[in-house]
Amino acid sequence: MRITIIGSGNVATHMAAAFKNAGHGIVQVYSPNLQNAALLAYHVGAEAIDNLDHINADTGMFVISVKDDAITAVARALAVHKKLIVHTSGATDLNSLLAFTPDAGVFYPLQTFSKVREIDFRSVPLCLEGAGDEILAQLKQLAFTISNNVYTVNSAQRKILHLAAVFACNFPNYLYGVAQHLLAQHQMEFGMLRPLILETAQKVQEQLPGAVQTGPAVRNDAGTMNAHLQMLSDMPGLQDIYTLLSQGIIKNNNDVTANG
Amino acid sequence: MRITIIGSGNVATHMAAAFKNAGHGIVQVYSPNLQNAALLAYHVGAEAIDNLDHINADTGMFVISVKDDAITAVARALAVHKKLIVHTSGATDLNSLLAFTPDAGVFYPLQTFSKVREIDFRSVPLCLEGAGDEILAQLKQLAFTISNNVYTVNSAQRKILHLAAVFACNFPNYLYGVAQHLLAQHQMEFGMLRPLILETAQKVQEQLPGAVQTGPAVRNDAGTMNAHLQMLSDMPGLQDIYTLLSQGIIKNNNDVTANG
Residue of chain B with shortest Cα separation from A235: B248
Q: Tell me which of A130, A153, A176 is where a domain ends.
A: A153
Q: Tell me which of A101, A129, A153 is where a domain ends.
A: A153
Are A172 and B175 inside 8 Å of each other by CB? yes
pLDDT value at A260 more than 50: no
Amino acid at A127: C
Angstrom distance (rounded) from CA B16 to CA B4: 9
Task: Tell me how far the alpha carbon of residue A251 is from its chain's centroid.
Answer: 29
| Distance from the A98 Cα atom to the nearest Cα atom in chain B, whole angstroms | 21
Q: Which residues contact B30 (CB under 8 A, 6 or more apart)?
A: B4, B5, B6, B7, B8, B37, B48, B49, B50, B52, B55
Domains: count for chain A? 2
DSSP letter, residue A153: -
Q: Chain A, 14-43: which have a CB under 8 Å from a chain B CB?
A: none
Do strands B126-130 and B104-109 pair parallel, antiparallel, or not at all (unpaired)? antiparallel
pLDDT (tens digit per residue) in B46-93: 999 999 999 999 999 999 999 988 999 999 999 999 999 999 999 999
Shared domain check, A205 and A124: no
Q: A152 touching B, CB under 8 A?
A: no
pLDDT value at A142 more than 70: yes
Contact residues, chain B, for A252 at CB < 8 Å: 174, 177
pLDDT (tens digit per residue) in A17-54: 999 999 999 999 999 999 999 999 999 999 999 999 99
Contact residues, chain A, for B251 at CB < 8 Å: 237
Are A166 and B216 inside 8 Å of each other by CB? yes
Shared domain check, A141 and A74: yes
Shared domain check, B211 and B133: no
Residue B234 exposed, middle or buried by CB count within 10 Å (0-12, 13-18, 19+):
exposed
Mean pLDDT of chain B: 95
Q: What CATH number is given to the structural domain containing A142?
A: 3.40.50.720
Q: Which of B175, B192, B232 sits opposite A125 (nearest CB)?
A: B192
Shared domain check, A79 and A32: yes
Shared domain check, A16 and A130: yes
Angstrom distance (rounded) from CA A60 to CA B178: 39
Contact residues, chain B, for A195 at CB < 8 Å: 110-111, 123-125, 149
pLDDT of residue B259: 56
Q: A228 pairs with which residues across the strands?
A: none
pLDDT (tens digit per residue) in A208-223: 999 999 999 998 899 9
Q: Which of B114, B168, B182 sits opposite A175 (nearest CB)?
A: B168
DSSP secondary structure string for all residues of A185-236: HTT--GGGGHHHHHHHHHHHHHS-GGGG--STTTTT-HHHHHHHHHHTTT-H
pLDDT of residue B250: 95
| Distance from the B192 Cα atom to the nearest Cα atom in chain A, whole angstroms | 6
Shared domain check, A171 and A133: no
Q: Chain B, 112-131: which have a CB under 8 Å from a chain A CB?
A: 112-114, 117, 119, 123-125, 127
Q: Tell me which of B131, B153, B175 is where a domain ends.
A: B153
Angstrom distance (rounded) from CA B93 to CA B158: 9
Angstrom distance (rounded) from CA A159 to CA A210: 24
Shared domain check, B182 and B114: no
Domain extent at residue B181: 159-259
Mutation target vs A (from B167, B185, B230, B249; most A CBs, 10 A cutoff): B167
Mutation target vs A (from B69, B245, B250; most A CBs, 10 A cutoff): B245
Asked whether this complex has an ipTM greater than 0.90, the answer is yes
Are A163 and B119 inside 8 Å of each other by CB? no
Report the percent of chain B where pLDDT is more than 70: 98
